[in-house]
Structure 1
Amino acid sequence: MPAEAQRRLRYTDWQLVFLEDFDTYRDVADMAVRSPWQFAPDNGPTLWGNQYEDEYYDQAAVSLRDGYVYLTARPLPQPRTFAFQVDGRDTLKQLHFESGWLSLKPGFGANPALGDTARWAGNRGFQYGLFEIRCRFGGGEGTWPAFWLFSGPTEIDVFEGGAGREYSNTVHYTPNKPARHESASFQAPAWKDLSADFNVFSAIWTPTEVTFYLNQRRLRTVPASRLPTFPAPATVIVNQAVLTYSDLATWPTGPDGPYSSLVVDYIKVYKVRGQP
């Protein structure tokens, strides 16, 4: 099979089943209506369970220009208080940044024939395949761009983090407690600043393994014998998070002050030819 730890990614055995190149929308308002994307997580404008993140996701932080989508983080003039419940207790979280998020809308892509398994990700997304993004990091200490797949029990971080040359990829498996994770950090070559140019990040997810690639070159494989994944469709997510230790002095600066944009050229999903 083409998914078995290719040293260099080849596309000849893969069939494109989903392409988002952001070329067909007039503006973000048009994108909100016609695209398969939503601009915030299902449970509200932030990932309330993540104590390390400091961003408030909003459609206003998403923009389109020249066929690219920009997910832009900026400091808020005043912190926003977000109220949520944890184990039945009311909790408040202060958020200091606005930023951009894209995830598939409920009902997009999942196979209804899968029944209960399709509902793990809200009846959306894809189960197994080659998942790929071409993007440019925004730069700045504390920015945390990510491209990931999420089904509930399984999370596959094709990439996350990355100021300059360093980023990581991770497989999470949490069908029950305790959760299990396997993560690895990578540095691009010394001459390769991931915020200076576009790069292609890919992952092949099969029942037997997850293999990660950068610019079509294999980084590593996580076999299911070491860390399994749950057989259910996963939604596709790309976002620009901001960590609580961010240093605005290292961020790019524009007319409106510090900002950091994750710029996305395209997102693609492939299936093995001849497979449903």
Structure 2
Amino acid sequence: MKKLVSCIATLIILASCQDTKTLIFEEEFDAKALNESIWNYELGDGCPNCGWGNNERQLYTKENASLKDGHLVITATKDDSLYHSSRITTAQKFEFQYGIIEVRAKLPTGQGVWPAIWMLGHDFKEIGWPACGEIDIMEYVGKNPHEIHTTLHTTDSHGNSKNTKITTLNNIEEGFHVYKTNWSKDAIEFFIDGKSVYTFNPEVKNDQTWPYNKPFYLLLNLAIGGNFGGPEVDDTIFPQDFIIDYVRVYK
């Protein structure tokens, strides 16, 4: 009987070890200001690729991102004829290959908002998009309430976002929700509040279909309008806040 108990205990320990993961990046946003040794601000209107390549309306500023009560708050505003917001990245400061990315966030709402949690290949500036690859952990557009988009952009899918899933959740605008992606050499799986919603695992993996065998960096932003956010923007909704509680990456 003692041997049986010992064997069961050993199996439990082994299973636990297999499930362990190492935290390699943690941002709780509990400082007074954004840590610029980790994060970059991307500013302006994206020109010469104006509108950030998507006919977006906003100008990105530092002032539209703030830390409050342990949260990153990206605020979209409308001043006269100008829209402002913020976009931050970890490019060249924190880049990683494979892992579990987990972000807890609360969405803005209303016609025209387009918040996103996403990733780009570290060679974006060298080889361009979509060859660098893009992993959209979460996208939401206010014109389509209750829908979360998870999408992979590759050279093979350029011009046709075929590697995508729309998940409808009636309460997604209420409070905070956890968006997670498990990225390995074999597949990329997406979760919302712990529930798997989409897995990308192409049978043929090459430069056209799988640019995901290299380091990527993180991006957080709140766009306004644009090709995906929609041409119509309800100016009465502003200001709107995209609130991020934490960002964690595990290996």
Q: TM-score, normalised by structure 2?
A: 0.76
More strand by share: 1
Please, which of 102, 105, 110 is the counterpart of residue 88 of structure 2? 102
Paired AA for residue 245 in structure 2 = D
Asked if residue 241 in structure 1 is aligned to residue 219 in structure 2, the reply is: no
Partner of 1:26: 32
Report the identity percentage.
24
Q: Distance in 2 between matches of 1:178 and 1:53?
A: 19
Asked if residue 266 in structure 1 is aligned to residue 236 in structure 2, the reply is: no
Please, which of 225, 229, 241 is the counterpart of residue 211 of structure 2? 229
Equivalent runs, 1:1-276 vs 2, <5 Å: 12-23=19-30, 25-27=31-33, 31=34, 33=36, 35-40=37-42, 45-46=45-46, 48=50, 49-78=52-81, 96-106=82-92, 108-109=93-94, 125-151=95-121, 152=124, 153-163=132-142, 164-174=145-155, 181=161, 182-188=163-169, 190=170, 192=171, 194-225=172-203, 227-243=209-225, 244-249=231-236, 251=237, 258-271=238-251
Q: Distance in 2 between matches of 1:50 and 1:99?
A: 16
The CA RMSD over aligned residues, in Å, is 2.2
Paired AA for residue 158 in structure 1 = I
The C-alpha deviation readout for 1:224-250, integer Å capped at 9, x for no partner, is 32642332111100101111422123x
Report the CA distance between 1:26 and its aligned residue.
Answer: 2.0
Which stretches in structure 2 are left out of the alignment for 5+ residues?
Answer: 1-17, 125-131, 226-230
Contact 2:150–2:198 at 8 Å: present in 1 too? no
Q: Distance in 1 between matches of 2:164 and 2:55?
A: 17
Which stretches in structure 1 are left out of the alignment for 5+ residues?
Answer: 1-10, 79-95, 110-124, 252-257, 272-276
Report the CA distance between 1:140 and its aligned residue.
Answer: 1.1
Aligned length: 210
Larger radius of gyration: 2
Paired AA for residue 63 in structure 2 = A
Paired AA for residue 57 in structure 1 = Y
Q: TM-score, normalised by structure 1?
A: 0.70
- Deviating above 4 A after TM superposition, structure 1's stretches of 4 or more consecutive aligned residues are 176-180
Report the CA distance between 1:67 and its aligned residue.
Answer: 0.5
Evaluate the alpha carbon distance shift between residue 217 and residue 177 of structure 1 in structure 2; reply closer, same or farther with a 3 A threshold: closer
Report the CA distance between 1:77 and its aligned residue.
Answer: 2.5
